[in-house]
Amino acid sequence: MLIRIGFEMVFEVPAPAAMLLMLGLRPERETSIRRPGGLRVEPEVSLEWYSDGFGNRPARLLAPEGRLILWDDLIVEDDGQPDPVVPNAKQIPVQDLPPGVLVYLLSSRYCEVDRLSDTAWRLFGGTPESWARVQAICDWVHGNVRFDYQSARPTKTAHDVYEERAGVCRDFSHLALTFCRCLNIPARYATGYLGDIGIPFQPYPMDFSGWFEAYLDGRWYTFDARHNVPRIGRVLMAHGRDAADVALTTTFGTTWLEKFAVWTDEVSDRELGSLQERRTPVRWNATSQV
């Protein structure tokens, strides 16, 4: 399966400001690129790519005063299979976990393990120490939290989501992964592209998506408390402790977002050939808020 992915962001920058960008793919996903894109910046400025502490590949730049456009448009190959479901995957005792995953048991900016621990054990303490426990968490979050763009805010934490029972994809993920950590299951936040491939049309503007991964039986598995069904065509951009580690853009100064468009669509081999030479921004009409 071939998937065309990309975005366009337009900012107004009142004064030069440093920016961090998490807009590329995870290094292990870059091997699936069939038609390269490459982050483009208008006006052209110097980009510095680096690796962060989670193995992501962000970039940084100094945004000049005026109008700033960030965009990319590429095609990746995907196996076309839904997220794996492994009911017999077991929870690993904390004392046997690899040192590198222990950080994903701890509280973080948006995931207050200490505030939700009693609630998690009350709701899920009787579930099996396995895939079933993580699935029970996803079922509860999916059934008790309402998806609502209007309830989104940058300061919203997992405890806030539990109290308010409404949020967007990142809020569903923050609450579910926090419950996992409360129950001694390492869990990390993931962000990337997720289109409507294999499902009915969705009446929402296209956006980047947030989900989470839980560590069971020695590997990371994808879970999605918002949709709560295996999905096709996830394209991973980054993962970290929570959304603070994988913010699309972080600005050290003032900027105003004027346009935000994302696309992720299945394409054919024939379309791949016809799209090989695209090297200009795609002016899509769909807009939504970061």
pLDDT in tens, 94-131: 999 999 999 999 999 999 999 999 999 999 999 999 99
**In 10 A of CB 267, how many CB atoms?**
16
Sign of CA dihedral 70, 71, 76, 80: positive
Q: Which two tokens stand for residue 62?
A: 């100094």
Do 94 and 220 contact (CB within 8 A), yes or no?
no
What pLDDT, on the 0 to 100 scale, is given for residue 202? 76
Cβ neighbors of 83 (< 8 A, separation 6 or more) are 222, 223, 224, 230, 231, 234
Indicate the pLDDT class of residue 203, thresholds 50, 70 and 90. confident
In terms of phi and psi (left: phi > 0; alpha: psi -120 to 50; beta: otherwise), the region of 80 is: left
Closest listed residue to residue 102, CA positions, set 179, 186, 221, 213: 186
**CATH architecture type of domain 94-232:** Roll (3.10)
Convert the pLDDT of each residue in 29-45 to its tens digit: 999 999 999 999 999 99
The yes-or-no verdict on residue 287 having pLDDT over 70 is no
Q: What crossing angle do the helices spanning 131-144 and 113-124 adopt, rounded to 10°?
A: 100
Indicate the pLDDT class of residue 274, thresholds 50, 70 and 90. low
**In 10 A of CB 112, how many CB atoms?**
19
What pLDDT, on the 0 to 100 scale, is given for residue 281? 45
What is the pLDDT averaged over residues 212-216? Answer: 98
Convert the pLDDT of each residue in 40-60 to its tens digit: 999 999 999 999 999 999 999
What pLDDT, on the 0 to 100 scale, is given for residue 290? 34
Q: Where are the domains of the chain?
A: 2-80+247-274, 94-232
The yes-or-no verdict on residue 85 having pLDDT over 80 is yes
What pLDDT, on the 0 to 100 scale, is given for residue 250? 97
What is the pLDDT averaged over residues 243-254? Answer: 97
**CATH architecture type of domain 2-80+247-274:** Sandwich (2.60)
